[in-house]
Structure 1
Amino acid sequence: MIREDDVYKIGRLGKPHGVKGEITFMFDDDIFDRTDCDYLILSIDGILVPFFIDEYRFRSNETALVKFEDVDTQERASELTNTDVFFPRSISDEGGDNLSWAAIVGFDVLDSRSGKSVGRIVSVDDTTVNTLFELEDGQLIPAQDELIDSVDTDRRVIAMNLPDGLLDIDGVG
């Protein structure tokens, strides 16, 4: 059985495309194209189920058309509309170079100096010039490479050298 901790969300399925089972896939992370993985995991009635990919083709930087094995009709594809799509962390973590912002949601941030946990990442805001980690208590931490000391994918921890006083700012820490 696939557990939620073993995967992370990379997108959502949209409407069927054509009559042979192709479906629109809106993704936040193209890890499925950058790694050697022949399946995606879909949330079907709350159960995480692997679906093997027959083929896919990109329509834009954020959408692709996907054809899954055993999904051969428009009707079958329409049953998957609005289904969340996940990717296995174990495959994403194999190469640190493949680790994306989406993959680190759920990681704990540790202050390298004190060794204390700052909090767990619930989202990454990369819509502005300065990417931020949003922690579960609402704290925003700058996600700059020069602040990140190490990333431990096994323990799901990011050690950061946080600037003095950052955690003392009103609304943070």
Structure 2
Amino acid sequence: MDSDQLLEIGRIGKPHGLRGELLVALTSNVDERIKTGTEIYLKSKKKYVITSSKPYKKHFLVSLSGIKSRTEAENLAGELLFAKPLEDPKIKWAHDLIGNSVIDNEGNSRGLIVEIHANPASDLLVLEDETLIPVVFLKDVKDNKVFVDTPKGIFQDREPCE
């Protein structure tokens, strides 16, 4: 699996109990990412299958294939979890926006999205001129155009693109 095609979905916390269960904090807002049977990957590209998953406080208690003891679980603490994108044509993922042009409140083109930066508060759209736009300001996506409703100042001192 090409790591460029994987999306970060969570982080493994500390072990829970003696049988290899792990606490997982989701970075995705889609709980389906952590359901039983899902294939997940570590940064090292090591693949596991979720054999059980249930909500636990603000996290999930997860069992992974091949992890049967607390010691094995401890070795995974702090690891990031990745998964393949969900196949749903109605869902637009942040990485799908790369290459789209950004249109501001006045209908001006502000350039192309070249990257997405993960940020705890909100992912950031990175434009060609290095302008950063939190995805919370995204209004709509149509025909490879991302319409944003930004507060004054984000595009300060920057001319619209032609």
Pair 1:41-2:41 in alignment: yes
Q: Name the structure 2 match of 1:66.
A: 62
- Alpha-carbon spacing, 1:169–1:132, altered in 2? closer, same or farther (3 Å): farther
Deviations 1:5-43 (A, max 9, x none): 110111110111000010111111153526875221112
Q: Structure 1: which 4+ aligned runs deviate by more than 4 Å?
A: 34-37, 112-116, 141-145, 165-168
**What's the CA shift for 1:114?**
5.7
1:1-173 to structure 2, matched below 5 A, reads 2-31=1-30, 33=32, 38-43=38-43, 47-61=44-58, 63-89=59-85, 92=86, 94-99=87-92, 103-105=93-95, 107-108=97-98, 109-111=100-102, 117-123=112-118, 127=121, 133-135=124-126, 137-140=130-133, 143-144=136-137, 146-150=139-143, 159-161=145-147, 168-170=155-157
- Change in Cα spacing, 1:132 to 1:65, as seen in structure 2 (3 Å) is closer
Cα distance in 2 between the residues matched to 1:81 and 1:118: 34
Q: Residue 168 of structure 1: CA displacement?
A: 4.6
Count of residue correspondences? 150
**Deviation of residue 138 (structure 1)?**
4.3
Matching residue's letter, 2:75: E
Q: Shift of the alpha carbon at 1:146?
A: 3.6
Deviation at 1:141, TM superposition (A): 5.5
Give aligned-pair identity as a percent.
Answer: 15
Superposition RMSD in Å: 3.5
Measured in 2, the distance between the counterparts of 1:172 and 1:18 equals: 57
Structure with higher helix content: 1
Change (3 A) 1:162 1:16: closer
What amino acid maps onto 1:42 in structure 2? L
Residue 160 of structure 1 and its aligned partner are, at CA, apart by 1.6
Contact 1:34 1:98 in 2 (8 A): no
CA distance in 2, matches of 1:98, 1:60: 27
Q: Which amino acid aligns with 2:40?
A: L
* Alpha-carbon separation, structure 1, partners of 2:154 and 2:113: 8
